[in-house]
Amino acid sequence: MVLIPPRPETLARLGRYNDSLEEAVKKFTEPLSYIRQGLDNTVKYALFKKCEDPYLLIVSQQKDKLLHPIGYNIILTVTSYSPSRNHHIADHFQRETGIDLTISVPEQLNRQLADISFCFPAFEKNPEAAMNFLRGSY
């Protein structure tokens, strides 16, 4: 029998939030880091939780808070080896921050965001360097 190593999976959720993402993430139990990498028209925060069942959470909001045509301005992704863990973390984030993350994710966007799972092993191997890269402090 060949054992296949577990593959990380990414859950994406979309929402609408008209207030400051910075203030919302302060309400979350775990501290998130401001992210400089990526598009300049978004505010982004991330957390890699190194533990027995590690996860990577990334949340972003359009700076101008304009809505995408399907009605969202917030994207949340949670990546781990457990789909149920991803849902639990996303639900917990939604409850603590008050951000409504109930807009359906289009399949094409879901496939694009699933690519985050390919980066997950780098966070596991060297979480500090990976987070420093996202922060822009390398």
Strand partners, 48: 56
Q: Using DSSP, state whether 91 is helix, strand or coil.
A: helix
Q: What is the tally of structural domains in the chain?
A: 1
- Examine residue 1 and state whether it is found in any structural domain, yes or no: no
Predicted pLDDT at 4:
72
- Examine residue 123 and state whether it is found in any structural domain, yes or no: yes
Q: Using DSSP, state whether 50 is helix, strand or coil.
A: coil
- Examine residue 4 and state whether it is found in any structural domain, yes or no: no
Domain ranges, residue 130: 10-135
- Examine residue 95 and state whether it is found in any structural domain, yes or no: yes
Mean pLDDT in runs of 10 for the chain (138 residues)?
82 95 95 83 92 94 86 95 96 97 94 91 92 81
Q: What's the pTM?
A: 0.92
Write down the H helix ranges in 5-56: 21-25
Sheet arrangement for strand 42-49: 33-35, 42-49, 55-62, 74-80, 9-16, 100-103
